[in-house]
Amino acid sequence: MELQCKVQNYEWGKQGLNSKVANLLASADPSVTIEPDKHYAELWMGTHSNGPSLIIERGVLLSEYIQNNHDAIGPEVKKKFGIQVPFLLKVLSIEKALSIQAHPSKEHAEQLHQSCPERYTDSNHKPELSIALTPFEALCGFRLLPQIQSYLSKLPELTEILPQDAVNAILAHEEQGNSNKVLKQVVQGLMLCDKTAIANSLKSLVTRLENEDPETQSTLLYPLIRRLHQDYPGDLGCFAPYFMNYMQLRPGQAIFLKSNLPHAYISGDCVECMACSDNVVRAGLTPKPIDIETLIEMLDYSSYAQEQLLFNPHMEDVNCCIWRPPVPDFAIVKIRVESDGDPYNTIIRASPSLILIISGSGEVCDTLPITAKPGVVVFLKASRQLTITPSPGDHIEAYQAICNV
């Protein structure tokens, strides 16, 4: 069943046809007018109440259809999650950085929802998997300690606003010891620092780096810091790249954002799948409400090398690979079929599927054929199979979100 899906126009999104979201929207429905100055940030596929998908042929919401057709979910998913699609599939098109943040664990989410339901509106966790569609920038996880020490030794503008005992402790710390405690001290010092002091420090740093030689500018991440400071002047999140890994993903590379892992997307386009939740704890690079005290206590202060944060798929057959995160809520399959072979029948899953055509042309069919082109989204019932047939001389590439059961 083909779906009509919801677009979110957040101000950090790419504008007009610069946005992958806008391109997919216009391709799937030529009657849609793309406004060149409008921000097309996210395409939502699923049953989330803030952006529910509609079954085009039937004129009913997917969430309503599922309530009346339990076979669409399948017994395994029904037993684990009830009558629902427990994941949300998205495409993001990011022009401006969004939120230094982390997501609570399931147990912590339940506590936050109980104590502060107006801010934490559900009791679910929100693990996420993001796969780059274009060159994609993100901050993810804390850096290895020697890298943080090196930055702090070269940034008096930063160290002078931090608690001196915390700076001394982290600079003196030996790598073989557990660095979580000293890292927490210095990060807490930054997050609780006086806003005016942070703004003045950033202004001094950007002014100094502006006049440094190109090698020093590159070493101290000046191009990135300048962009963040232009978009969020005086924000403590502008210092985050000195503590967090600066990831530059190539198309097809992915990161998995487990509970409590600090992260922020900076730019690019990606496919993202997550558990159905709005639970986000923010600290900077955002106009939205922040909750610094909660974030300080929940963060994963482990240090990660960048290669540890890349999340790799494994091949299921010659046409598809799958990213299986360590959660039952979701997994993502990438399918690519060339026209020089036979039509491809997807692997039968015990889960319902949301399938997004990302490129190519042709036809997809369960019982009724649907024209396949970029932006077309299909809902496939549990234990059913989709036949994918590319147009002559073309291909079809798609992302399929499923439950990881």
Domain containing residue 174: CATH number: 1.10.441.10
Note whether 130 and 55 are same-domain residues: yes
Quick one: pLDDT at residue 119? 85
The answer on pLDDT for 277 being more than 90 is: no
The answer on pLDDT for 354 being more than 90 is: yes
How far is 209 from 157, CA to CA, in rounded Å?
Answer: 11
Query: 3-state SS of the chain?
Result: CEEECEEECCCCEEEHHHCHHHHHHHHHCCCCCCCCCCEECEEEECCCCCCCCEECCCCEEHHHHHHHCHHHCCHHHHHHHCCCCCEEEEEEEECCCEEEEECCCHHHHHHHHHHCCCCCCCCCCCCEEEEECCCEEEEEEECCHHHHHHHHHHCHHHHCCCCHHHHHHHHHCCCCCCCHHHHHHHHHHHHCCCHHHHHHHHHHHHHHHHCCCHHHHHHCCHHHHHHHHHHCCCCHHHHHHHCEEEEEECCCCEEEECCCCCEEEEEEEEEEEEECCCCCEEEECCCCCCCHHHHHHHCCCCECCHHHHECCCEEEECCEEEECCCCCCCEEEEEEEECCCCCEECCCCCCCEEEEEEEECEEEECCCEEEECCCCEEEECCCCCCEEEECCCCEEEEEEEECCC
Note whether 98 and 130 are same-domain residues: yes
C-beta of residue 269 within 8 angstroms of C-beta of residue 94: yes
How far is 48 from 278, CA to CA, in rounded Å?
Answer: 10
Note whether 96 and 19 are same-domain residues: yes
C-beta of residue 141 within 8 angstroms of C-beta of residue 302: yes
How far is 53 from 60, CA to CA, in rounded Å?
Answer: 9
Q: Tell me the pLDDT tens digit for each residue of 317-342.
A: 999 999 999 999 999 999 999 999 89
Note whether 71 and 45 are same-domain residues: yes
Quick one: pLDDT at residue 303? 95
Quick one: pLDDT at residue 177? 62
Note whether 396 and 281 are same-domain residues: no
Note whether 93 and 185 are same-domain residues: no
Note whether 166 and 228 are same-domain residues: yes
pLDDT band at 179 (very low <50, low <70, confident <90, very high): confident
Note whether 279 and 386 are same-domain residues: no
Whether 349 is a known active-site residue: answer: no
Quick one: pLDDT at residue 175? 65
The answer on pLDDT for 121 being more than 90 is: no
How far is 133 from 141, CA to CA, in rounded Å?
Answer: 21
* Gyration radius of the chain's alpha carbons: 23
The answer on pLDDT for 39 being more than 60 is: yes
The total of structural domains in the chain comes to: 3
How far is 305 from 265, CA to CA, in rounded Å?
Answer: 18
Phi (first) and psi of residue 397, to 5 degrees: -120, 135
Q: What CATH number corresponds to the domain at position 11?
A: 2.60.120.10
Percent with pLDDT over 90 in the chain: 92
Note whether 136 and 153 are same-domain residues: no
How far is 203 from 235, CA to CA, in rounded Å?
Answer: 11
Q: For residue 48, give both structure tokens.
A: 């989330």
Per-residue buried b or exposed e for 327-355, using 16+ beta carbons within 10 Å of the residue's own CB? bbbbbbbbbbbebeeeebebbebebbbbb
Note whether 216 and 322 are same-domain residues: no
How far is 91 from 271, CA to CA, in rounded Å?
Answer: 5
Higher per-residue pLDDT: 218 or 123: 218
Q: Side-chain half-sphere of 35: how many Cα atoms within 13 Å?
A: 6
How far is 300 from 66, CA to CA, in rounded Å?
Answer: 37
Q: Tell me which amino acid residue 319 is.
A: N
Q: For residue 79, give both structure tokens.
A: 């037993």
Note whether 16 and 80 are same-domain residues: yes
Closest CA to 91 of 140, 32, 134: 134
What is the arithmetic mean of pLDDT over 286-296? 92
Quick one: pLDDT at residue 176? 56
Note whether 79 and 126 are same-domain residues: yes
Give the active site residue among 226, 227, 282, 384: 282
The answer on pLDDT for 304 being more than 60 is: yes
Domain that includes residue 183, residue range: 147-240
Place of tokens 């664990």: 105
Q: Which of 119-133, 151-165, 175-189 has the highest mean pLDDT?
A: 151-165
